[in-house]
Homo-oligomer: A and B are copies of this chain.
Amino acid sequence: MHTIEYQFSDKKVPVHFDAVFNEIYQLTAGAKLIILTDDQVFGLHAEKFSGYPVISFVAGEANKQQATVNNIIDELIKHEADRNTFLIAVGGGVVTDIGGYVAAIYMRGIRLALVPTSILAMVDATIGGKNGIDVGLLKNLVGTFRQPDFILYDYSFLSTLPFDQWVNGFAEIIKHACVRDAKLFAFLEQHNLHEFQNDHHLISELIEKNVNIKSSVVAADVYEKGERKILNFGHTIGHAIENTYHLSHGQAVSIGMVAACNLSEQIGELHFEEARRVVSLLAKYHLSVDIETDHEQVFEILKMDKKRSADTIDFILLSEIGRATIQSVPLDTLQKHIKEIM
């Protein structure tokens, strides 16, 4: 285990890399622990949780809803969780998002540790203090900003991660490279998914690189007033299609990034050759680069996006690989281009 402390404006968060799950016992200094996880992680790693009270819910984005929050709160009451209890959320992004949310609102806030078990959660969901649940099809419509007390990385969870979940996570990794790090982009072009799956040092290096990128962007702008918005690259359209077309988050964001690159060519300054490199890299990591959609329906959902302000919507465009800009796009401009970019 080695520890890096990331300083956010609202809190300092220790991140323990290359750790073993059971080290949470020492890290929480004997506090009462309650594990929150989903039935898939629990089924695959039950032995890791032995001796701890466990609250488990049915895996999947479809359950990232208030009904699940209600059940978890009822369980916390039964377990007599109090303000000194440590909630340990162990799972992918759905578990860490919902766990972060419950820990933020139960008794106006209890202590929280995040243990990401998927690539997506490791490089993205657990970093930065955003939590939330969906309301119907509206992703993360409800939530808060609140940093966890610590984050623990135990790479042994990756041994059971399905292939499509590896792919899912690489969408966010490629996103980080696109918006902030041309060198990382080239590094990804030089390697492939098979290598990352089978080389502990390589994946561990990649994850730390990504935690650094995300943390540095978030640290400058925790409440997403400006710079942090660049992390929404690919997510504006991604969120609009994810639930509607039953896509994984990674596939939806990948298609969203392609659309954002197309828009960057049409109304921005991205060179077509750079856009082509992005599409190739996504395809190399088994991500979808197009989909049949009902453009009008997608546009209607976009209109409800959190990042919308009256008659414009904040879009993240690329000016080149490694450099993103935030652009306020009028809704009618978007409506005009939506057929061509998707």
Binding site for B on A (CB under 8 A): 32, 66, 70, 73-74, 77, 80, 82-84, 104-109, 130, 132, 135, 138, 140-145, 223, 303-304, 306-310
A310-B105 contact given A77-B138, A77-B141, A144-B144, CB 8 Å threshold: no
Contact status A308-B82, CB under 8 Å = yes
Contact status A107-B145, CB under 8 Å = no
Contact status A105-B142, CB under 8 Å = yes
Contact status B138-A306, CB under 8 Å = no
Q: How far is the CB of A194 from chain B (nearest CB, A)?
A: 38
Contact status A132-B108, CB under 8 Å = yes
Specify the chain B residue showing the minimal Cβ separation from A308. B82
Q: How far is the CB of A10 from chain B (nearest CB, A)?
A: 9
Q: How far is the CB of A302 from chain B (nearest CB, A)?
A: 13
Cβ-closest 10 pairs across A and B: A107-B306, A108-B143, A105-B142, A84-B309, A108-B145, A108-B144, A82-B308, A73-B135, A82-B309, A105-B144
Contact status B304-A141, CB under 8 Å = no
Contact status A145-B109, CB under 8 Å = yes
Indicate the member of A74, A104, A142, A143 with the most B CB atoms within 10 Å: A142
Q: How far is the CB of A96 from chain B (nearest CB, A)?
A: 15
User: Could you tell me the distance between the alpha carbons of A109 and B223 in the complex, rounded to whole angstroms?
Assistant: 10
**Chain B residue contacts of A308, Cβ below 8 A:** 82
Contact status B108-A304, CB under 8 Å = no
Contact status B141-A106, CB under 8 Å = yes
Q: How far is the CB of A132 from chain B (nearest CB, A)?
A: 7
**Chain B residue contacts of A108, Cβ below 8 A:** 130, 132, 140, 143-145, 306
A77-B109 contact given A144-B104, A144-B144, A309-B82, CB 8 Å threshold: no
User: Could you tell me the distance between the alpha carbons of A104 and B66 in the complex, rounded to whole angstroms?
Assistant: 15
**Chain B residue contacts of A74, Cβ below 8 A:** 135
Q: A83-B309, A106-B141, A108-B145 provided; 16 other pairs, C-beta below 8 A?
A: A73-B135, A74-B135, A77-B304, A80-B303, A82-B308, A83-B307, A84-B309, A104-B144, A105-B143, A105-B144, A106-B142, A107-B142, A107-B306, A108-B143, A108-B144, A109-B145
User: Could you tell me the distance between the alpha carbons of A108 and B224 in the complex, rounded to whole angstroms?
Assistant: 10
Which of B32, B80, B109, B223 is within 8 Å of A304, CB to CB? B80
Q: How far is the CB of A104 from chain B (nearest CB, A)?
A: 7
User: Could you tell me the distance between the alpha carbons of A243 and B22 in the complex, rounded to whole angstroms?
Assistant: 41
**Chain B residue contacts of A66, Cβ below 8 A:** 66, 70
Contact status A310-B135, CB under 8 Å = no
